[in-house]
Amino acid sequence: MTETQRPTIRLMPKAKPQAIRHGFPWVYANEVVTDRRTRALAPGSLAVLEDAERRPMGLVAVNPESKIIARMLDRNAEAEIGVDWFRARIGAALAHRERLYDQPFYRLVHAEADGLPGVVIDRFGEAAVIQPNAAWADLLLEPLVEALVAETGVQTVVKNASGRARGLEGLDDADAVLRGGVEGPVPVQMNGATYMADLTGGQKTGLYFDQRENHGWMARLAPGSRVLDVFSHVGGFALAALAGGAAEAMGVDGSRAALDLAQAGAEASGFGDRFTTRQGDAFATLEALGSEGAQFDVVICDPPAFAPSKNARDAGLRAYERIARLSAPLVAPGGYLALCSCSHAADLTAFRNASARGIGRAGRRGPIVHTGAAGPDHPVLPQLAETGYLKMVVFRL
């Protein structure tokens, strides 16, 4: 389809096209002339974005039902979005990951930062899990999957529809196995440990690859230590610490299924006898451990996004402060407290300050010895702060 055959959407005169020309990938609904023709476009439609003077700016995917009404796909307004186009984007992403990792376990596509807006793909060896979190990707899922299989050789492809963003796009929450089949958890080798990833029934895509570098960094503190991993999921920090020589580690999580996978990972790694689990609400468990007088040399808290949006920012920061207040008393003198946030609405400074307030309210103090972020398979688009969402701040108390 040529540029003249495609529908067009136009920026309002008050909109600033410079940000888009300089790489910002989104157009908000209040920046576009939303006439009847634009509102009639089906979610996921492709259109040419024009500036206020009707000059083409690129090819966008449109969703009139979303606050993000358009996502930039290609600066070439005449680009053909099909298998070859997807293969080029996936191939570029794959080349970067293959330089980083000697085994095929990583985030293969990190949405806008890899040129596929709203698309997340995690790779687990011969399997891949796709989160098509934007209407255009859901609509073009078949050529996307075909390109993924052709470019990587994966045998199994799973669609995960649990992302919060899908609801904002008006999409369903129906998971599906699109290629091949899944027979139980997939073992993943990272940081000297074996993790068990549930690709069809676990949280997100089955594993949090974004914390890999932080798991490894904390493992440097592990030799001989007693480690507490709160919100541990399938044992992220705990298993890496045990692989790094921790004397013992405890994983705390609200999900029995996740803890069972963590235990299975510990057994597969050869240190099941040094790993224990405790199921329960994290806040209540931290309070209970405090009342029991428990002490650990290293404590890590990696909660879900308490501030997933700007409206939730203040409440989220209070929750992070409370986590810090409850966990700080569990750290032995001279020990380490690592606090994490995956909330893009709470920036590093705000999160760091909330954490410090909580530690202070617990009567503890100490310097920050390390600040971590997501690994290099989660590239950050400099024009889009949301792609740099993960923070880890490590205090020595």
Are 387 and 380 in contact by the 8 Å Cβ rule? The answer is yes
pLDDT reading at 293 higher than 90: yes
Cα distances (Å, whole numbers) of residue 385 to 60, 89, 112, 274, 381? 20, 21, 11, 39, 7
Instruction: Give the containing element (helix H, strand E) for 284.
Output: helix 282-291
Span 234-252, mean pLDDT?
98
Sheet holding 26-28, edge to edge: 8-10, 45-50, 56-62, 68-74, 26-28
Span 319-345, mean pLDDT?
97
Cα distances (Å, whole numbers) of residue 123 to 86, 130, 148? 16, 9, 10
Q: 3-class SS at 205? A: coil
What does pTM read for this prediction? 0.94
Instruction: Give the containing element (helix H, strand E) for 58.
Output: strand 56-62
What angle in degrees, to the nearest 10, is found between the helix axes of 236-243 and 256-269? 20
**Structure-token match 């806040």, residue found:** 283
Q: Which domains does the chain have, with CATH numbers?
A: 3-74 (2.30.130.10), 83-179 (3.30.750.80), 187-396 (3.40.50.150)
- pLDDT, one tens digit per residue, over 7-55 is 999 999 988 788 899 999 999 999 999 899 999 999 999 999 999 999 9
- pLDDT, one tens digit per residue, over 146-193 is 999 999 999 999 999 987 888 888 899 999 999 999 999 999 999 999
- pLDDT, one tens digit per residue, over 271-290 is 999 999 999 999 999 999 99
Cα distances (Å, whole numbers) of residue 256 to 78, 155, 276? 51, 30, 13
Distance CA 203, CA 382 (A): 28
Residue % of the chain over a pLDDT of 70: 99
User: Would you name the residues annotated as active-site residues?
Assistant: 342
Backbone angles phi, psi at 306, to 5 degrees: -75, -20
- pLDDT, one tens digit per residue, over 101-153 is 999 999 999 999 999 999 999 999 999 999 999 999 999 999 999 999 999 99
- pLDDT, one tens digit per residue, over 364-389 is 999 999 999 999 999 999 998 888 89
Q: What is the DSSP letter of 39?
A: H
Buried/exposed code over 63-79 (b: 16+ C-beta within 10 A; e: otherwise): bbbbebbbbbbbeebee
Q: 3-class SS at 103? A: coil
Residue 316 — very low, low, confident or very high, per pLDDT cuts 50/70/90? very high
Residue 3 — very low, low, confident or very high, per pLDDT cuts 50/70/90? very low
